[in-house]
Amino acid sequence: MLDIKFLRNNPDIVKENIKNKFQDSKLPLVDEVIELDAQSRAAQQEADTLRAERNKLSKQIGALYGQGKKEEAEAAKATVNAQAARLAELEKLEEELQEKIKQIMMIIPNIIDPTVPIGKDDSENVELEKFGEPVTPDFEIPYHTEIMERLNGIDLDSARKVAGNGFYYLTGNIARLHSAVLAYARDFMIDRGFTYCIPPYMIRSSVVTGVMSFAEMDAMMYKIEGEDLYLIGTSEHSMIGRFIDRIIPEEELPYTLTSYSPCFRKEKGAHGIEERGVYRIHQFEKQEMIVVCKPEDSKTWFEKLWQNTVDLFRSMDIPVRTLECCSGDLADLKVKSVDIEAWSPRQQKYFEVGSCSNLGDAQARRLKIRVNGKDGKYLAHTLNNTVVAPPRMLIAFLENNMRADGSIAIPEPLRPYMGNMTEIR
C-alpha cells in the first residue's frame, strides 16, 4: 500500500505506474482518493478548530459563573453543546472517509522498481541467466505421475475419492524423497545463517489483507467457515504476520528466517495439459525464506534470496534459469520479482519452481511493522522466496535424475536424508 502523502504529491507517477501494470481501470481511483483525502483533511481541520474553541470556551464558562455572569455563561455553554454535536458529526465523517481511502489505497498497486521490464503478462518476462547445462536424454521420459506410479509412489485415484481433484497420496520411496528434499532444504538454509521456524497454519483476516492484494486473496485463500481464520497459501503470510504492529529495534535487523509449512490454495482457473498431476494442487508442503530488513538493504537481500534457490537446485545437478517478472506479471504489492525455473527434459523447456519477491514497505505499511532507528521510526522492508516446494521439485528431480532403465539416481547431498540410498528402483 502506498503512502497517502506520496500519492497526494505524485499523482502522475502513481498513474503512470498503473498504466505500466496495464491496470487502466484503476486510473480513476487516484483522483478519487485525492478528493476523499482533501475532504478528510478539511473535516479534520474543522474538527481541530472546534476542539480548540471548545477548550477555550470551557475555561471561560467557569470564570463567567464565578463572576455572576450567568446569561453569558449559559450562552457559552450552549455554543459548546452545539459544537459538540458538530464535532461528533465531523469525527464520524473523518472515520468514514479514512475507511474509504484505506480501501482504495489497498487496491492501487505499489510502485514497481525502475529496472522492471514493462510487459502485459508472464509471456513477456525476461530471461536473466541460465545455471547448468540442460540435458536431453536419448530415451523417452514419461509424464511425472507415470514415473511415480511405476515406482509405486503415488495414488491419485484414491485421493480423488477422498478429497477430489488436486490432491494425492505419496507412498514408499517417493514419499520419503519428498520429505528428504524438505529436510535437505531446511538444513541448507540453516547453514546459510537463516533461523528455522514452524509458523501457525491459519491466520486472521487482518493478516491476510496485510500480506496480499484482494485479488490474490480471492484466488488463493480457503476460509474457515464461522471463524475469522484462513488456511495459509504459503508460510510467508504467517511469518510476516508475526511482526504485525511491532516496533523493531534497528540493531536487531535483518531477520533472516526459513520456515516450513503445508500450503493450501484454491488454484482457480484452467492451467493446461502440462499442469496435470502434481504441478498445481490444493495442498502441498514448502520450505520458504523470509527477510525483514532496513530499506537500504532490501536490494542486496533480493539478490541473495534468489541465488539461494539456484544454489540449492544446482547442488542436486538440476539446471535452472532466472526470469525477471515484467510489470504486468507482478502482484500489486510487489516492487520486483524473479522466478526460478527448472529444466524439464521431457518437455524440453523450463518451468517455474519458485518465486523471489521484494515487497518494499507495502506489507509493513499495512501491518504497521516499524523500525526504531537512531533518527526515528520508519517502515521495514519485507522479502520472500521459495526455497523448495516438493511437488514441483519432484517433477524436476525425477526427470533430471532418471536413467534409461527407469531407475532414479539420488544425488550425494540427499543420500543422508534417504538412508544412504543411491537410487530408487
Torsion of CA 413, 416, 418, 424, to 10 degrees: 50
Between the alpha carbon of residue 184 and those of residues 5, 312, 335, the distances in Å are 46, 9, 30
Are 279 and 391 spatial neighbours (Cβ–Cβ below 8 Å)? yes
Cα 242 from chain centroid (whole Å): 13
Between the alpha carbon of residue 254 and those of residues 202, 371, 416, the distances in Å are 25, 11, 32
Question: From CA 155, how far away is CA 228, in angstroms rounded?
Answer: 34
Domains of the chain: 4-105 (1.10.287.40), 122-424 (3.30.930.10)
Cα 22 from chain centroid (whole Å): 21
pLDDT per residue as tens digits for the range 177-195: 999 999 999 999 999 999 9
Are 256 and 297 spatial neighbours (Cβ–Cβ below 8 Å)? no
pLDDT per residue as tens digits for the range 25-68: 999 999 999 999 999 999 999 998 888 887 777 777 766 666 77
User: All 3 cell numbers of residue 212?
Assistant: 496480499
Between the alpha carbon of residue 132 and those of residues 37, 150, 313, 342, 401, the distances in Å are 53, 28, 10, 10, 14
**Global confidence as pTM:** 0.90
User: All 3 cell numbers of residue 269?
Assistant: 482457473
Sign of the CA dihedral 317, 416, 280, 151? positive
Question: From CA 157, how far away is CA 275, in angstroms rounded?
Answer: 17
pLDDT per residue as tens digits for the range 93-130: 999 999 999 999 999 999 999 999 999 999 999 999 99
pLDDT per residue as tens digits for the range 290-304: 999 999 999 999 999
Question: From CA 171, how far away is CA 409, in angstroms rounded?
Answer: 18
pLDDT per residue as tens digits for the range 126-180: 999 999 999 889 999 999 999 999 999 999 999 999 998 889 999 999 999 999 9
Are 371 and 378 spatial neighbours (Cβ–Cβ below 8 Å)? yes
Other C-beta atoms closer than 10 Å to the C-beta of 69 total 15
Question: From CA 310, how far away is CA 39, in angstroms rounded?
Answer: 50
Question: From CA 244, how far away is CA 355, in angstroms rounded?
Answer: 23
Are 132 and 357 spatial neighbours (Cβ–Cβ below 8 Å)? no
Question: From CA 180, how far away is CA 139, in angstroms rounded?
Answer: 27
User: All 3 cell numbers of residue 47?
Assistant: 474538527
- The single-letter code of the amino acid at 171 is T
